[in-house]
Amino acid sequence: MSSLGAILNSAVTSMQASQLGIAIGSNNISNAQNPEYTRQRLITAPGASLESRISIGSGVDVVRIEALRNRMIESRRLQETSSQAGADLLHRTLSDIEVQFSDTDTSGLMQSLSKFFNSFQTLSTDPASPNFRQQVRTNAQSLMTQFRTLHDNLANAKTLLDRSIAEKVSTVNSLARQIAHVSGQIADQETNGPANDLRDQRAELVKQLSGIVDVNELETDDKFYQLTIGNNRLLVFGTDTAPLGTQEDLPAMFNSGEIHSAIDARDNYIPRYMDALDEMAYEIVRQVNSKHSAGYDLNGNKGIDFFQPMGGSADASALMSLSSAVAGSASKIAASGASDGNDNRVAAQIGNLLFQPVFTGGSVSDQYRNLVFNVGSDVSNAQLNLNQHEAMARQLELRRQSMSGVSIDEETVQILQFQRAYQASARLIKTVDELTQTILGI
Amino acid sequence: MRIPDNASYMNFLYDLQKTQEQFLDAQSQVTSGRKVQKPSDDPGAASDIVRLSGEKSEDEQFLKNIESARSRLSATDVMLDGVEIMVERARQLGLSSLGSLSNASAYKAEIEGLRDQLIQSANATHQGRYLFGGSVTTAAPFVKQNDSSVTYGGNSTAIELQVGRNATLQAQLPGDEVFAGSVDIFSTMKDLLAALDARNHDGVAAQVKKLEQFSETVSTARSRVGGFINVADAMSSQLSAAGLSRAKELNDVQSADTAQAITQLTLSQTSLQATLAVGARIAQRSLLDYL
C-alpha cells in the first residue's frame, strides 16, 4: 500500500519536473530567434517503485536536459558552409575583376586597340602630316595606359587576396584557441551532465571556422574532442591547438572554404587573365616593331623600333613603352616602305595588324575576345556554383532547423502541458492534505 | 515535418533576397538599356560585342580612308580636266600656226603661257600635299630648269589606301605616268616652241601630233581616276550597308528589348510585392492569438 507521504512525494517530484519543463520552454523561447541555438527537451523517466508487492511508481525522475541535435546533418552542414563561403568569395573576387572587361562599342580595351591601329591607317592617308604622327603617339600612350591599368588592377586584386589570406589564417588560429577553450569548459561541466549551451557555443565557433576552411570534427565516446582542417591537418585536440602558419603549404591543404578560393583566385584565375593581357601586349610590341623597323621614318632612316623591345611577355602589359626614338620625336615614326618620298605602306601594314590573324589564336581582337569570354564564363560558372551551394546550404539549414530549431507554438503547447501538470499536482497535494485532515479528525 | 519559426523567416529572407536580385536586374536593364552589362551576363554575347565594336571602328576607319582617297581623286580629276583643256588649246594654236608660220611669235607667247600653266597644274596640291609627285608629297615634283626643260623630282609610287580587310584603293596617279609617260608633255611643249622659233613646219606638225597623243593619255588617266572613284563609291556603300546590319546585330546582342525588359520588371515587381506580403503574414499567425 502506498502511504500518503509517498503520494505527497510523487506530487512534489511532478511539480519540480513541471517547473523545470516550463523553465526549459522559457529558455527555448528566449533563444528562438538565434539560428545557431539547439532546442532543449526535458527527459524524464517514471520514478522507481518503492514496494515490491503492488508496484506503483514513485512519481517522476528528471533524467537530463537533452539538446535535439543531429550529428549527421550538423557535419554535412559544416561541409556545405565551407563550399558556400568559398564559392561566395570566388564569385565576389571575380565579379570585381569582371567589371574591367565590360566592353561596350564606345569604351574598353577594344576601343583603345582600334584607335591605336586606326591611327596608323589615318597616318597612311598622309604620312607627312605631323598631326597624324602625333595622333599615333597619343593613341599609343592611351593604349599603354589602358593595358597598365588593367594589369595594375589585377595585381592589386592579388595583393588584396594575399592580405586577406593572412588575415584569415590568423582568424583560424584565434577560432582554434576559442574552440579549445570551450572544449575544456565542456569537459569540466559534463562530469555533471550535458553542457548544451557550451556545445551550442562551440558549434557556432566551428561553423564560423568552416566558412574559412573545410573542417572535420571528431568526438570520441569518452568525450575527447578533436578538430582537423583541410587534408587532415590537426588544429584542435582536446584543449590544445596547433596554430596554422603562413609558411605551411596552404594551396595543397584545403579543398573548400574561403582560404581555398582566395588561393585559387590568386594562383589560377588572376594569373591566367594577366598572362593573356601580357601575351597580347607582348605580341603587339613584337608585331608592330617588326613592321616598323622595316620601314623608313620621315627623314628616310630605317631600323627604328616603335615600342621599346621586350625580352619576353612577363609583365609586358605593365612594362610596354615607346622606344626612346619615337618618344623623342614623332618624325621617327616609320610610315614608309621606301627611303625616297613618304609612301604609306608601312603605316598601312601596321594599321592592318588590327584585323590580320597573325597573333596567337587569330587577330588581336580575337585574343581579347577570348579573354572577355573566359572572364565572363568564369564569373558565370562561379555564380552557378554559388547558387547551387546556396540552395544546398539552405536545404541543410532547413533540415537542421526542422530538427533543432525552436517553434514558439510548440513550446507554448509544452508549457501549457507542464502548467496543467503542475496545477494537477498542486491539487493532489491539497487532496493529500484533506485526507490527512480526515485521518486526524478520527 | 516540423517547421520552426526560424525556418519560416529564413525561407522568407532567402526568397526575398532572390526576388530583390531579380527586380534589381530587371530594373538596371530598363534604366541602362543594356542587356549585357558585364561579361558574365552572357559571355558569348560579351565576346560578340568586342568583335562587333572592333569591326565597327575598323569600318569607320575604312570609310575615312575612302573619303580621303575620293577627295584626292576628285581633285586629280579636276586638275586633269584643266590639263585636257590647256593641251587642246595648245594643239589648236599649233594647228593654226601651221598656216601662218611667219606669224609664229604671236602663237609662241600664248603657248609659253600654257606651258607654265601646265607646270602649275602638274604641281597642284591637295590639302597641302602635291598630287602628282608619287610618294613625294612635300616638294613640287615638276621643276622648270634654266633651259626651260622640266625635270620630274617625284617617283613612280602609286599611293594606295586600305579600304577593306582585303581591299586597297589607289588614291593618286604618279606624275611621271601622266605627264612624262608615252608622251612627255613638257619636252613636247619645249620642242613645239623650238619648232615655232625655227619656223619648222614639219617640226610643228610632229609636236601637234604628239599633243594629240598626250590628250589620249590624259583621257585614259581620267578614266582610270573615274574608275577609282567608282570603286570608292561602291566600297563606301558596301561598308555603309555592312555598318547598318552590324549596328542591328550589335543592338541585338547589346541592348535590352525595352518591351521585354519592362515586362520583366513588372513581373519581378509583382513577385517582390507578393513575397513582401507573405513576409508580413509570417508574424501574424501564432497559437498565442487563440489562447
* d(CA A122, nearest CA chain B) in Å: 7
**Helical H segments across A193-322, by residue range:** 196-212, 250-253, 258-264, 270-292, 316-319
SS3 B288: helix
| Cross-chain CB nearest to A121 (options B51, B61, B171) | B61
Domain ranges of chain B: 48-249
| Cross-chain CB nearest to A103 (options B2, B50, B286) | B50
Q: Residue A336: is it exposed, middle or buried by C-beta count within 10 angstroms (0-12/13-18/19+)?
A: buried
The correct CATH number of B48-249 out of 2.60.120.10, 3.90.70.10, 1.20.1330.10, 3.20.20.70 is 1.20.1330.10
Residues A20 and B236: their CA atoms lie apart, in Å, by 92
Residues A320 and A289: their CA atoms lie apart, in Å, by 12
Task: Verify whether the Cβ–Cβ distance A376 to B61 is below 8 Å.
Answer: no
The DSSP letter of residue A101 is G
Residues B196 and B106: their CA atoms lie apart, in Å, by 10
SS3 B110: helix
- Would you state the torsion angle of the CA atoms of residues B70, B72, B74, B78, taken in this order, to the nearest 10 degrees? 180
Query: A415: nearest CA in chain B?
Result: B288
Residue B14 pLDDT > 90, yes or no?
no
Q: To which residue does cell 550589335 refer?
A: B250
In the prediction, which pLDDT does A1 show? Answer: 46
Report long-range pairs for A223-229 (Cβ below 8 Å, ≥24 apart). Answer: A223/A186, A223/A187, A223/A190, A225/A183, A225/A186, A225/A187, A227/A176, A227/A179, A229/A172, A229/A253, A229/A254
SS3 A230: coil
Task: Verify whether the Cβ–Cβ distance B46 to A103 is below 8 Å.
Answer: yes
In the prediction, which pLDDT does B154 show? Answer: 92
Task: Verify whether the Cβ–Cβ distance A407 to B61 is below 8 Å.
Answer: no
Q: Please give the interface size between A and B, counted as residue pairs whose CB atoms are below 8 Å apart.
A: 203
Which residues of chain A make contact with B5, given a CB cutoff of 8 A?
32-33, 405-408
Task: Verify whether the Cβ–Cβ distance A401 to B51 is below 8 Å.
Answer: no
| Cross-chain CB nearest to B40 (options A365, A380, A405) | A380
For residue A46, the cross-strand partners are A60
Which residues of chain A make contact with B12, given a CB cutoff of 8 A?
none
Query: A370: nearest CA in chain B?
Result: B47
Select the residue from A133, A401, A403, A415 to test the B interface by mutation, using most B Cβ atoms within 10 A: A401
Residues B279 and B20: their CA atoms lie apart, in Å, by 14
* d(CA A118, nearest CA chain B) in Å: 6
H or E, element range at A307: none
Which residues of chain A make contact with B38, given a CB cutoff of 8 A?
95, 98-99, 102, 376, 379
Q: Contact at 8 Å (CB) between B255 and B34?
A: yes
ipTM of the complex: 0.87
Question: Which residue from B146, B243, B134, B236 is spatially nearest to B178, judged by alpha carbons?
Answer: B134
Which residues of chain B make contact with A341, given a CB cutoff of 8 A?
133-137, 154-155, 157
Q: How many CB atoms lie within 10 A of CB A436?
A: 13
Residues A429 and A437: their CA atoms lie apart, in Å, by 12
Task: Verify whether the Cβ–Cβ distance B288 to A405 is below 8 Å.
Answer: no
Residue B283 pLDDT > 80, yes or no?
no
Which residues of chain A make contact with B154, given a CB cutoff of 8 A?
341
Which residues of chain B make contact with A113, given a CB cutoff of 8 A?
54
Query: B283: nearest CA in chain A?
Result: A408
User: What Å distances lie between residue B163 and A101, B64, B150, B228, CA to CA?
Assistant: 30, 9, 35, 12
Tally the C-alpha atoms within 13 A of residue B49's C-alpha that lie toward its C-beta: 32
Which residues of chain A make contact with B47, given a CB cutoff of 8 A?
369-370, 372-373, 376
In the prediction, which pLDDT does A50 show? Answer: 66
| Cross-chain CB nearest to B37 (options A102, A374, A406) | A102
Domain ranges of chain A: 4-68+406-440
Non-local (6+) Cβ contacts of A108 within 8 A are: A101, A102, B50, B53
Query: A406: nearest CA in chain B?
Result: B4
Residues A10 and A60: their CA atoms lie apart, in Å, by 7
Task: Verify whether the Cβ–Cβ distance B53 to A108 is below 8 Å.
Answer: yes
Order of strands, edge to edge, in the sheet holding A240-241? A215-219, A225-229, A233-237, A240-241
Task: Verify whether the Cβ–Cβ distance B7 to A115 is below 8 Å.
Answer: no
Select the residue from B162, B163, B250 to test the A interface by mutation, using most A Cβ atoms within 10 A: B162
In the prediction, which pLDDT does A222 show? Answer: 80
Residues B95 and B107: their CA atoms lie apart, in Å, by 10
* Whole-prediction pTM: 0.86
H or E, element range at B130: strand B129-130
In the prediction, which pLDDT does A53 show? Answer: 66
For residue B151, the cross-strand partners are B143
Which residues of chain B make contact with A408, given a CB cutoff of 8 A?
5, 286-288
Task: Verify whether the Cβ–Cβ distance A128 to B129 is below 8 Å.
Answer: yes
In the prediction, which pLDDT does A2 show? Answer: 62
In the prediction, which pLDDT does B286 show? Answer: 79
Per-residue pLDDT of chain A (442 residues; tens, 9 = 90+): 468 888 888 899 999 999 999 999 999 999 988 888 999 999 999 988 766 666 778 889 999 899 998 889 999 999 999 999 999 999 999 999 999 998 877 788 999 999 999 999 999 999 999 999 999 999 999 999 999 999 999 999 999 999 999 999 999 999 999 999 999 999 999 888 888 889 999 999 999 999 999 999 998 888 889 999 999 999 999 999 999 987 889 999 999 999 999 999 999 999 999 999 999 999 999 999 999 999 999 999 999 999 999 999 999 999 999 999 999 999 999 999 998 888 999 999 999 999 999 888 899 999 999 999 999 999 999 999 999 999 999 999 999 999 999 998 999 999 999 999 999 999 999 999 999 999 898 8
Task: Verify whether the Cβ–Cβ distance B10 to A397 is below 8 Å.
Answer: yes
* d(CA A369, nearest CA chain B) in Å: 5
In the prediction, which pLDDT does A49 show? Answer: 73
Task: Verify whether the Cβ–Cβ distance A372 to B14 is below 8 Å.
Answer: no
Task: Verify whether the Cβ–Cβ distance B65 to A124 is below 8 Å.
Answer: yes
Task: Verify whether the Cβ–Cβ distance A354 to B54 is below 8 Å.
Answer: yes
Task: Verify whether the Cβ–Cβ distance B53 to A122 is below 8 Å.
Answer: no
The rounded Cα A201 to chain-centroid distance in angstroms is 22
Query: B157: nearest CA in chain A?
Result: A343
Task: Verify whether the Cβ–Cβ distance A412 to B38 is below 8 Å.
Answer: no
Q: How many CB atoms lie within 10 A of CB B209?
A: 14
Average pLDDT in chain B: 91
Q: Contact at 8 Å (CB) between B157 and B174?
A: yes
Residues B169 and A99: their CA atoms lie apart, in Å, by 41
Q: What percent of chain B has pLDDT over 90?
A: 71
Task: Verify whether the Cβ–Cβ distance B50 to A104 is below 8 Å.
Answer: no
Q: Which three cell numbers stand for residue A290?
A: 617588326
